[in-house]
Structure formats: structure tokens, C-alpha cells
Amino acid sequence: MIAGFWTGKKVVVTGADGFIGSHLTERLVEEGAEVRAFAYYNSHGHAGWLEDAPSQVKQDIELYFGDIRDPGRVSDAVQGRDYVFHLASLIAIPYSYHAPDSYVQTNIGGAINILNACRTHGIERLVHTSTSEVYGTAQYVPIDEKHPLQGQSPYSASKIGADMLAQSYFQSFELPVVTARPFNTYGPRQSARAVIPTILCQLYAGAEQLKLGALHPTRDLNFVHDTVSGFLALAQADDAIGRVVNIGSGKEISVSDLVKILIKITDKEAEVVQDQQRLRPDKSEVDRLLCDTSLLKVITDWESAYTLEQGLTLTADWVKSHPEHFKPDSYSI
């Protein structure tokens, strides 16, 4: 990446209150950007995971509350910005089985609001966030950007729709957009809807039985700081404009093998049991994900900085020191 690139750049991050968004916001502030952090409005003025950011970061950001489904509020947030990182979306796959309309309204409707705002205000670059879930179960590995898209859940279908809109705005209006497609990002501040914090919070709570869903699926796990570096690299790369680019580790691990590593890291023991309510419908389960990062490495200088063991250790330390964020005895979709 170009040294000093972000100094003085005016940036807006949607979903800045979320897991990846809060880390991206923090990194941009550290790099010298002027960041407008778009967070989901609530009457308590709570800024989500930005509340956990260092005090200096919170002082330096412009906290901007709104709803990504509101085109006027989105337009106001984008006005006057140079770069836009769009991360705001509904992401919990199990909940998408129960409330698919919400995913269409937020993920597709939110994307069209961002695209229109960026087009109206003439931004320099939009980084639109996709997900590896759009690939569904791998038809071949490693998965490159040409892999067929499969809407195996309402969530993934909504993200496919948003991605296609982003591509259409490049093709139709020459909007300078790049679609970043991260694989399974993990790290501090991730909620227990994801498998790694689910395992860790149960282990640290002293559970005798570790309740999980399917153990056979494999995932490509990328530490959150590496994912953030990928976002920043793509925002700087002119060759990324108009393209979809994967961000991942290029390695896969099954859930069952992941459990073994986390048991070793935490020095805990528990019997693994399958909890039926945590299982996806048969045709909706994504059995295998393994990222091909070739394109990212060709058009940027990005490389992973963290091994899986390093990232999991840092994540375990954070979960252990923040038990107030977790309810190990309950399952939330």
C-alpha cells in the first residue's frame, strides 16, 4: 500500500458500528483519514463495537447515526466524502430463514441507496462489501472470482443481488466501484453468531458440553486485521475498479479441527455435541470454502500478516477478557 495515502482523505464507513466496520474505522483513523462513521440509529446513542475502540479513535471520528435503508440519510452521509466503504448489512444466516424480507430491504435496498449517493456526489472510489457465502458450496477449489454464484440462503441471495447492482453501476454509469469479497473473517469484537466466538465463550464458561452445528464444513479463516488491509489495498488499486476481488487466507479448516485448536489454546476440555437448532437446512449448508487470492495479490501488494494460530490466540484472549458480551448458555440466531 502507498505510505501516507489516507492522510487527510475524507472517508465514510457504513456499518462502522459492526465487527469488521469498527476495525476498518479504527485503522483508517490510525492512517490519518477523516472518518465519518455511519452507525445504525438507536435512541441510546450506542455506537456498537465502536464503543470498544481506543478513546483517541472515538474522539477523532465523526459519528453519524442513520439507517442504510433511508436514501436521504445515506446521501447526506456520502456528500463531501472522497472514499466510501460500504459494510452495512444484515449478516446472520440463520435469521435470514426467518426474516428474508429484512435482508432484501437492508442488503439490496441499502446497496442501491449507497450506489445512487456515490453516483450523485461523484466519489473517487466505492468499496462495496460482498461475502464468500455467494459462492455456496465449492464446485471447485480454490474458489476464484469466476466461480458460479449460488443463493443457498436468503442472506447469500440478497448479497448476490447487491453485488450485481454494484457491477451494473460500473457498467452502466462508470461508477468507480470495487467489490471486495471477504471469506470467513474472525477476530476480536465478533459476536457469538459466528462459530469461533461461539466455541470460545462456551469453553471459557466451563461448559462440559460444547454445543455446535455441523462439524464437517470447511472454512477459509482470515484474521480481521488482514481483511481490513485487503479493503484498504483495494481502495488504492486502480486495477480493482469494476472488479470483484476475493480476500482470504488461501487455507481451509474444518469446524471439527478448529475445535481441537481452540481447546488447545484455551487449555479447556469439553464434549462436542450436535445441537439440532444450530444446523442449517440440508440444501442451505455451505460444505466447503477455500479462497483463491491470486487476483488480489496481482493487483495489490497484499499479504496475510497473521497465521491462523496467531489470530485465534488474539481472539481467544479478547473473548476471555470480555465475558459481558456473550451468553454461552443460549443460542441466538
Q: Tens of pLDDT along 129-183?
A: 999 999 999 999 999 999 999 999 999 999 999 999 999 999 999 999 999 999 9
pLDDT-based confidence at 330, cuts 50/70/90?
A: confident
Residue 161: per-residue pLDDT = 98
Whole-angstrom Cα distance, residue 121 to residue 106? 21
Q: What is the mean pLDDT of the chain?
A: 96
Contact 126, 176 (CB under 8 A): yes
C-beta of residue 327 within 8 angstroms of C-beta of residue 191? no
Residue 61 has pLDDT above 90, yes or no: yes
Query: Residues of the chain with pLDDT > 90: what percent?
Result: 95
The radius of gyration of the chain from alpha carbons, rounded to an integer in Å, stands at: 19
**For the chain, domain boundaries:** 10-190+223-248+288-306
- When pLDDT is averaged across residues 40-60 and rounded to a whole number, the result is 95
Segments of the chain assigned E as strands = 10-14, 34-40, 62-66, 83-86, 125-129, 177-182, 184-186, 209-212, 218-219, 221-223, 244-247, 253-254, 271-274
pTM: 0.96
pLDDT at 200 over 80: yes
Sign of CA dihedral 313, 314, 315, 321: positive
- The residues, any chain, with a CB within 8 Å of residue 257's CB and separated by 6 or more, are none
Count of other CB atoms within 10 angstroms of residue 266? 19
| pLDDT given at position 3 | 78
Res 331: pLDDT? 85
**Measured distance CA(160)–CA(256) in Å, rounded:** 29
Q: Single out the residue of 97, 99, 87, 82 nearest to residue 40, CA to CA.
A: 87
- Per-residue pLDDT, 329: 84
- Mean of the pLDDT values across residues 17-32? 98
State the average pLDDT over residues 289-298: 98
pLDDT at 1 over 90: no
Under the banding of pLDDT at 50, 70 and 90, the label for residue 302 is very high
In sequence order, the 6+-apart residues with CB closer than 8 A to the CB of 24 are: 13, 16, 85, 87, 228, 231, 232
* pLDDT band, residue 333 (cuts 50/70/90): confident
CATH topology of domain 10-190+223-248+288-306: Rossmann fold (3.40.50)
pLDDT band for 94, please (50, 70, 90 cuts): very high
**In the predicted structure, residue 243 carries a pLDDT above the cut 90:** yes
Q: By percentage, how much of the chain surpasses pLDDT 70?
A: 100
pLDDT at 325 (0 to 100): 93
Mean pLDDT of 40-55: 95
Which pLDDT score, from 0 to 100, does residue 315 have? 98
